Amino acid sequence: MALTFDGSNNTITGLQINSANIVDGSIVNSDVNASAAIASTKLSGITSGITMADQWRVTADFTPSQASTITSNWERNDNYFDFSLGSGMSESSGQFTFPQTGIYKVTVFYGGYKSSGSSSYSGVQLRVSSDSGSSYTNIAASYQSIIAGPTNPHFSGVTDALIDVTNASTFRVKLLIDRNSETVFFGSSTGNYTGVTFIRLGDT
């Protein structure tokens, strides 16, 4: 078989592929397009990756009492992420419920300042319940020492935990303030100063 190359349009003529099972014209574009989708029945051991991400924050400064849950002024982040990936979390009086079972990474962030008084500490605990909020357990915490002297000394912190949510109907999380002197925690409706991020990493 003689092959001819046409340099004007970069084509090769005279090339033919023969097969006992394939004849000329038997494969057309519609056949290729129709087979482009990969059926899930043909795959195994492949996960879909992150299917849920959500972020909530407190919208205004607040002065919490000791051992108090952050119960008000919660909103979903609506700056540059004005949605939740997937179904997202639900919030009621500071208690967050999960949209489905799975392994979740929960990250707490906070900041504030000491308005008066001597040296102290201030922090946030991440608490989880598996019995619809009847009882909570502290699973992560972050504390900052606040030294007296400077005017309104500031503090900030981050903590996180992995939670295996085995029952979306009964699992809850909330944020609890732990401090030994009066402090003001930051909040904002345009920035993330105190809040929590949820990312579902995979199936339980």
The tens digit of pLDDT for each residue in 155-175 reads: 999 999 999 999 999 999 999
For residue 14, what are its two tokens?
Answer: 């005279």
Residues 6+ positions from 29 with CB-CB distance below 8 Å: none
Q: Do 152 and 67 share a domain, yes or no?
A: yes
47: in domain: no
pLDDT greater than 70 at residue 5: no
33: in domain: yes
Range of the domain at 16: 4-42
At residue 38 the predicted structure's pLDDT band, cuts being 50, 70 and 90, is low
CATH number at residue 62: 2.60.120.40
The tens digit of pLDDT for each residue in 88-129 reads: 999 999 999 999 999 999 999 999 998 776 678 899 999 999
Q: The pTM is what?
A: 0.77
Which position has the token pair 């579902």?
200
Q: Do 26 and 68 share a domain, yes or no?
A: no
Which residues, in sequence order, are bridge partners of residue 106?
A: 161, 198
Q: Do 67 and 22 share a domain, yes or no?
A: no
Q: Do 128 and 173 share a domain, yes or no?
A: yes
Q: Do 26 and 117 share a domain, yes or no?
A: no
